[in-house]
């Protein structure tokens, strides 16, 4: 003899559908927020890498040329400036700074400081 268990098969109620839609909506909104945070992080990392390359490039130019004067220039959306300070008889401090705008139009600044020896005073 086979026993059959009858279950109450009524289907899905409207309340269950609404709860499922709310959970799905909240989950999608959280994923969208995570995507925006990831985009901001990627933009910051990209711009910081480019700024660091520009600063290093200028520092190498100043080291090899021995023309240690203050100045600034622009490369695309990046503004690079440098200040040379006399620290000792043959020692100069070079501060290089790069400024740019992020995705939200906030000014960002990255800077680098190095000391260079000079042949002349």
Asked whether residue 5 is assigned to any structural domain, the reply reads no
Q: Name the nearest CA neighbour of 78 among 49, 43, 50.
A: 50
Instruction: For residue range 42-91, list pLDDT tens digits in order.
Output: 999 999 999 999 999 999 998 888 778 899 999 889 999 999 999 888 88
Number of domains in the chain: 1
Q: Which helix (H) or strand (E) element contains residue 111?
A: strand 107-117
Asked whether residue 7 is assigned to any structural domain, the reply reads no
Asked whether residue 90 is assigned to any structural domain, the reply reads yes
Asked whether residue 30 is assigned to any structural domain, the reply reads yes
6 pLDDT above the threshold of 70: no
Full domain range(s) for residue 24:
14-117
103 pLDDT above the threshold of 60: yes
Q: Which helix (H) or strand (E) element contains residue 99?
A: strand 91-101
Mean pLDDT for the stretch of residues 90-109: 92
Q: Which helix (H) or strand (E) element contains residue 26?
A: helix 14-65
pTM to 2 decimals? 0.69
User: Scanning the structure block, which residue is given the tokens 């269950």?
Assistant: 16
Asked whether residue 24 is assigned to any structural domain, the reply reads yes
pLDDT at 120: 61
The band of 7, judged by pLDDT with boundaries at 50, 70 and 90, is low
Asked whether residue 20 is assigned to any structural domain, the reply reads yes
Asked whether residue 102 is assigned to any structural domain, the reply reads yes
Asked whether residue 110 is assigned to any structural domain, the reply reads yes
Max CA separation in the chain (angstroms): 109
Are 54 and 75 a contacting pair, CB within 8 Å?
yes
Q: Name the nearest CA neighbour of 119 among 90, 94, 85.
A: 90
Number of other residues whose CB lies within 10 A of the CB of residue 94 = 20
pLDDT at 95: 96
Mean pLDDT for the stretch of residues 16-37: 93
pLDDT at 53: 95
């Amino acid at each position: 003899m086979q026993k059959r268990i009858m279950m109450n098969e009524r289907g899905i109620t409207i309340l269950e559908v609404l709860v499922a839609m709310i959970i799905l909506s909240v989950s999608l909104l959280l994923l969208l927020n995570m995507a925006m945070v990831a985009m901001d992080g990627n933009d910051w990392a990209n711009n910081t890498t480019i700024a660091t390359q520009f600063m290093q490039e200028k520092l190498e130019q100043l080291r090899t040329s021995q023309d240690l004067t203050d100045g600034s220039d622009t490369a695309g959306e990046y503004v690079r400036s440098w200040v040379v300070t006399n620290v000792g008889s043959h020692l100069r401090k070079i501060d290089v700074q790069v400024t740019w705008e992020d995705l939200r139009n906030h000014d960002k600044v990255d800077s680098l400081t190095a000391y260079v020896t000079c042949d002349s005073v």
